[in-house]
Structure 1
């Protein structure tokens, strides 16, 4: 970047510095700090005006044009480009393609995108056309640019710019993000450090729901929704008002009780996402940028303390720290002297209400897709219903366990008003079913039937065909759809001579196609060999040579180039799921369940399901049949 192309150089907010560190030091796995704003547009769309409006956003907000750089000496900075290119892509559903499937496919294209933080802009726009009156605009950005509060402001301005053809002169001038950075620099840092040092004094260690592992690579999280209905929400809000409490306090106290039960700790810490918009900073509520921060919440649980006293204490202790929410988490951990403090986080969202969204004649439906890097993260969104979302790492927690946690949390919130006089040590966090299962566990266990994975999935698809089986970002597959897709691919594999005692290598990223392919391979009777598309070529070549798969599966001509080249060099058959010829072939395959009449030999539970390569004692990975 030349000097003439630089408009400004700014310091980083605390959370920006943390995100920059994590992005640059975690190159493996998906980028969980990439987020998406999804706008479904209904009505006649002026594409040129929408593109001009997107460009107008970059002109209006200089911090959307930031690239992030380290310096040889001193703190890193964000460099504001004066004239960055607008990253704009237009795509359309294929003729005859299911509209929802097309929208999901194109939305996922940028999900988890890895941005080069040095190169602005770290925001891209993808317009998906379904027909003349239905479009979707997907705005994908690195979280280092924006927080959730800002997205509603961004939508408002995008619509206003659309109505004015991208001309920002008709809009009121924005409040500069640099005002917030200047306010940060003027804060009394020693005083904030003293406040956090006192708040975390005598803490005997972190509160962790998962074993600490600094080498653990990020994975795309699972997510479960929940909510309190309108009546329960209204009763909770009224209860909070009667006792001069905030709903955020109720959420934090309930989470502390749940995490305390999970970890066995009575001195609980967890993270809280705070808005970072100080009331004394003029215009803070209308600023676009990353103002939020993550700070620790410490809750000491005393078994003989009434719930009413716990709630009052939590609110009082957190209110005392609000003016110090600007201090970065790394700095807080440093003054606490404990290092890592927590691995769960709570975000209570109370963003500005957008009401019915319109862009001129267009009706707009807004949504979002993002991820969290903590093992467990809870989002609670205020409104007529208290909407909940519990995100989790699926490599650490099975979905059934997380579903149980969400049920416990929801039940605890609804029961708080009736439990004010109950001592916290006597609060029952388990439901009737959970308590019954625990009390009867191990007594006369029922025999577990012997069955293959395909048979189990097929039985479930027959019972609940419309239940969601796989969810990846905005895409969903029901059990019926998953089973049918896997059946078509399984028949194609069987006709290629693939069956029991053979292996199929899957060089696919995590997602719906990987799940479908795993099921298809096992339906054909074969075992699957997972090949990470990011593995170095030497490792892929060794895996393919040792496993000798009958076929290597890809998805796209540009996907997994290392694995594709290694398979070609080994002379292995290759199957590209995105090849038009393969797509046409699969469309003509039957969607019925394959049987032993179709397979080369009967499928037995004892046949290998997959091969996994582990690090051997000699340092050379070894394949293990499972």
Structure 2
């Protein structure tokens, strides 16, 4: 720690060393050359802010070194986090016509939703309860187990986290999305004993039980949205399976939840009642969201996505909106390639995440035969301004677009550097919801593929030896219902190998196509790790076939949609009534609207669609879903659907 020229540099060197677990750090050592990644950046910024430095995540990506970071940090400028009262998850104003069930005194709280929660809620509405976001995590326990104590520990943990006991709904008068936390809600708990089943059949029986749990839908308005299954597989062997809706927990939080259940069970003495726990710190996140500059975020995303001509789709039309069979395959890179990738990232001041997602984008460009591609990217969404964000449990993650514009003549290394620079500038704006981002660039569907990079500090499949669990317990997070996106790539940064899991719609992609994608990205990553000078144009040599529906779409591209058919009589009356509702919801004068207008082209989005449906139901009693608005956004088309729904009692003005 010698040769520091200022106290700030001295302190930052200590923080670098502590976070990266190295003995010493030079003033000009790059954070990423020392094997730092995005999770480590979050930890560094959180600790630096606690020490008084006014820095953000993007500052570390841009400055990289202690000297550079000290030059832009302003020590002592960070304000206090604030009291619980001014940082709680923002409560919406009471509604004069709020339904009794949301205003009941038994409710612990009524809160707004985070951006991704809004998206997940609308997906649930759109699919009329057919859900793509039911997940599972489990504790695999070897050794003595006290089932009653484990249940008590689980109920104590869930009881101490109000956001895990919430239900979700819309206010019928305003369409505002809210989450309601009732008092006294506990996760359902069932047990199953497979110890009497022949040993060779137990695994099959267990898989059937888990699949059954995944297929049991949740009603998002009826908490709890989390249930537990305790399975006895034999003497001294149990599995605690926690099935939950993704609207409650991101993947990071699911790992933390299982770990907290383990810790609570293993603690000495009686398990504390949930009421004895501290207030839920997740509420601070809502306060942080409310304080963000949405106009600045909107401008940043508008600039990033300016001139986007079209989205990137690898599946056929409507592939995201139909039930599908979920399939998966995993490609694991060998230790040698993984080591070379880590070394390549360190030497080039890049994160491993950037290398992999750039390779994925290049592969998509070949798959779709597009010069420019977009795909969804999951971001952690844990702002370092909060106290200990790495340990908070809830839904922090968000999905934002990644735009890749490769130049065939540039090196892949230069492209990676450009992608990292672009994303570092956007990090402070990662809180903006996807529907808002897509509206900014006039695109309803920017992508139908999702990319996620996971390097949690609480790894899945980790075994812990705990006093109460005897031989140890293993955290397993592996269960998913059918995917909403037809193709999802999740990358797991394990200690010595890189694992890439493809989750895909089985009735959209052949297994062979996905296997070929896995081979393609593995080959590309190996090439990138071995040669800094490899050019983007060399990706064209990869054997990636054009998907048949993409070829068919291009062949039919000259065929134009005939548009809505002329209407008359009673249908025209419904159109006029519907135009009046479009006018109210969208804030557009009626005389400027016609039967050919599209709800979303006029500025509509998911929240406004829910408000439109609420108004139609309140005025006419018609049972119309948000999905219907998405499928039939044009006034004339929606009028036909509304007429069909109202045939037994035609709406009156």
Q: Which moved more, 1:169-178 or 1:15-24?
A: 169-178
Q: Is the 8 A contact 1:175 1:286 kept in 2?
A: no
112, 130, 135: which one aligns with 2:238: 135
For 1:27-426, list aligned pairs within 5 A. Answer: 27=128, 31-71=131-171, 72-93=173-194, 95-97=196-198, 98-164=201-267, 165-167=270-272, 173=278, 176-213=281-318, 216-354=321-459, 356-362=463-469, 363-368=472-477, 369-371=479-481, 372-384=483-495, 385-426=497-538
Bigger proportion of residues as strand: 1
Over the aligned positions, Cα root-mean-square deviation in angstroms equals 2.1
Q: Is the 8 A contact 2:161 2:280 kept in 1?
A: no
Q: Is the 8 A contact 1:106 1:128 kept in 2?
A: no
Per-residue deviation, 1:53: 0.8
Bigger proportion of residues as helix: 2
Per-residue deviation, 1:343: 0.7
Per-residue deviation, 1:418: 2.5
Q: Is the 8 A contact 1:258 1:429 kept in 2?
A: no
Per-residue deviation, 1:360: 2.6
- Counting matched residue pairs gives 432
Q: Secondary structure at the match of 1:427?
A: helix
Long gaps (5+) in structure 1: 436-626
Q: Is the 8 A contact 1:345 1:374 kept in 2?
A: yes
TM superposition score normalised by structure 1: 0.66
Q: Give CA-to-partner distance per residue, 1:364-399, whole Å, 9 cap, x none.
A: 122121243111110001122111101111111100
Q: Secondary structure at the match of 2:248?
A: coil
Q: Give CA-to-partner distance per residue, 1:425-470, whole Å, 9 cap, x none.
A: 1235536xx89xxxxxxxxxxxxxxxxxxxxxxxxxxxxxxxxxxx
Q: Is the 8 A contact 1:54 1:166 kept in 2?
A: no
> How many angstroms apart in 1 are the aligned matches of 2:336 and 2:279?
39
For 1:401-480, list aligned pairs within 5 A. Answer: 401-427=513-539, 430=542
Q: Which moved more, 1:227-236 or 1:240-249?
A: 227-236
Distance change in 2, residues 1:225/1:33 (3 Å): same
Q: Is the 8 A contact 1:14 1:293 kept in 2?
A: yes
> How many angstroms apart in 1 are the aligned matches of 2:531 and 2:394?
40
Q: Is the 8 A contact 2:138 2:240 kept in 1?
A: yes
Long gaps (5+) in structure 2: 1-100, 546-653
> How many angstroms apart in 2 are the aligned matches of 1:171 and 1:80?
18
Per-residue deviation, 1:174: 6.8
Distance change in 2, residues 1:224/1:397 (3 Å): same
Higher RCO, Cα 8 Å, sep 6+: 2
Q: Which moved more, 1:264-273 or 1:352-361?
A: 352-361
Q: Secondary structure at the match of 2:489?
A: strand
Q: Is the 8 A contact 1:35 1:112 kept in 2?
A: no
Q: Secondary structure at the match of 1:118?
A: coil
Q: Give CA-to-partner distance per residue, 1:480-533, whole Å, 9 cap, x none.
A: xxxxxxxxxxxxxxxxxxxxxxxxxxxxxxxxxxxxxxxxxxxxxxxxxxxxxx
Q: Secondary structure at the match of 1:241?
A: helix
Q: Is the 8 A contact 1:408 1:429 kept in 2?
A: no
Per-residue deviation, 1:69: 1.2
Per-residue deviation, 1:171: 9.5
Q: Is the 8 A contact 1:50 1:166 kept in 2?
A: no
Q: Give CA-to-partner distance per residue, 1:559-588, whole Å, 9 cap, x none.
A: xxxxxxxxxxxxxxxxxxxxxxxxxxxxxx
> How many angstroms apart in 1 are the aligned matches of 2:318 and 2:187?
39
Distance change in 2, residues 1:12/1:237 (3 Å): same
Per-residue deviation, 1:28: 7.0
Q: Is the 8 A contact 1:197 1:336 kept in 2?
A: yes
Q: Secondary structure at the match of 1:204?
A: coil
Q: Secondary structure at the match of 2:249?
A: coil
Q: Which moved more, 1:139-148 or 1:156-165?
A: 156-165
> How many angstroms apart in 1 are the aligned matches of 2:467 and 2:325?
36
> How many angstroms apart in 1 are the aligned matches of 2:534 and 2:429?
32
